[in-house]
Amino acid sequence: DAKTTQPPSMDCAEGRAANLPCNHSTISGNEYVYWYRQIHSQGPQYIIHGLKNNETNEMASLIITEDRKSSTLILPHATLRDTAVYYCIVRIINSGGSNYKLTFGKGTLLTVNP
Amino acid sequence: DAGITQSPRYKITETGRQVTLMCHQTWSHSYMFWYRQDLGHGLRLIYYSAAADITDKGEVPDGYVVSRSKTENFPLTLESATRSQTSVYFCASEPTSGSYQETQYFGPGTRLLVL
C-alpha cells in the first residue's frame, strides 16, 4: 500500500506555478521523498527527491516540511507539456532487496490549461 | 543510443502462447526491474534483479519468468500467456552507487494484449 496521500487531480494555468501537495505522515527517518511523473502512455519519469532539506533542480523544487510529514512539488512555470500524473513516493535508499521497489499510488493528475 | 529500451513496443498474442519482452540498458546499472501497470492498480513490481544471475520476486510474479545472463539485458517471459496478463509492462534500471543520486529510470513500456 502506498504510504502517501495526494489529491486526485489539480488544474493549473500555463505559465503559472503548479504546487502539488503530498502527505506522508508515517514517513520514517531513513525514508526519502521521491517524485515521478507519467505523461500519458509513457514510462514514469524521475523528477526530484529529498530527505529533509529543500531541493531544486532544472525541472522542479521540492519543499519538505520540518516534521517531514508532508511535502510540495513546485513546477515554477507550468507548460502544457507538464500535463501528467505526478506520483509522490517514500522509499529507503541503499538498503537492498525489495526496498528498491517503488510503490506507486494513484498520484495527482495535473492538467495545465492554456 | 544510451538509455533503456524495450521491445517490442506493442504485442498481440493468444492465450497459452509464450511471450518474451526484452529490456536493454546501456548504463551498466546493477539493478533492473519489471513492473506492470493496469487501470486501478498503478504500477506493481513483478521481478527485480540485483546483478547478473541474481533475481528475486516482486509483488506479482506468478506466471512470469526472468533471467539475467548479462548486466545490460533483463528479459521477461510469460510462459503461457493469460488474458489477465494483458497490461502495459515497464522495465527500469538503477545504479547501486550508494550515493544520494540513486533513482530508477524507466523504459518506454510494452503494451501487451492477450486474446
Q: Residue B47 and residue A98: Cα distance in Å, rounded?
A: 10
pLDDT reading at A97 higher than 80: no
Q: Left, alpha or beta for B59 (phi > 0: left; psi -120 to 50: alpha)?
A: alpha
A33 close to A90: Cβ distance less than 8 angstroms? yes
Residues B42-65: what's their mean pLDDT? 92
The pLDDT, as a whole number, for residue A91 is: 85
A44/B106 touch (CB, cutoff 8 Å), yes or no: yes
pLDDT, averaged across chain A? 90
- Kindly identify which residue of chain B lies nearest to residue A105, measuring between CA atoms: B42
Taking the CA of residue B109 and the nearest CA in chain A, the distance in Å comes to 6
Order across the sheet with B19-25: list the strands: B4-7, B19-25, B76-78, B64-66
The helix (run of H) or strand (run of E) holding residue B106 is strand B105-106
Residues A23-49: what's their mean pLDDT? 92
Q: Which candidate, B18, B9, B3, places its Cα nearest to that of B88?
A: B9
CA B97 to chain centre: 22
Q: Which of residues 34-93 of B touch A (CB under 8 A)?
A: 42-43, 45, 48, 50, 56, 58-59, 90, 92
Size of interface A-B (CB pairs under 8 A): 50
- Tell me what percent of the residues of chain A surpass a pLDDT of 70: 92
Contacts with A46 from chain B: Cβ below 8 Å: 103-105
- Kindly identify which residue of chain A lies nearest to residue B40, measuring between CA atoms: A106
pLDDT reading at B101 higher than 90: no
Residues B81-107: what's their mean pLDDT? 85
pLDDT band at A98, cuts 50/70/90?
Answer: low
Residues B57-79: what's their mean pLDDT? 95
- Show which residues on chain A lie within 8 Å of chain B, measured between beta carbons: 2, 34, 41-46, 49, 93-94, 96-98, 100-102, 104-107
The pLDDT, as a whole number, for residue A50 is: 92
Order across the sheet with A31-38: list the strands: A9-13, A108-113, A84-92, A31-38, A45-50
pLDDT in tens, A74-88: 999 999 999 999 999
pLDDT reading at A6 higher than 80: yes
B42/A98 touch (CB, cutoff 8 Å), yes or no: no
A30 close to A55: Cβ distance less than 8 angstroms? no
The pLDDT, as a whole number, for residue A100 is: 72
pLDDT in tens, B19-29: 999 999 998 89
Handedness of CA A93, A30, A20, A56 (dihedral sign): negative
pLDDT band at A94, cuts 50/70/90?
Answer: low
Instruction: Give the CA angle between residues A53, B27, A58 to the nearest 5°.
Output: 35
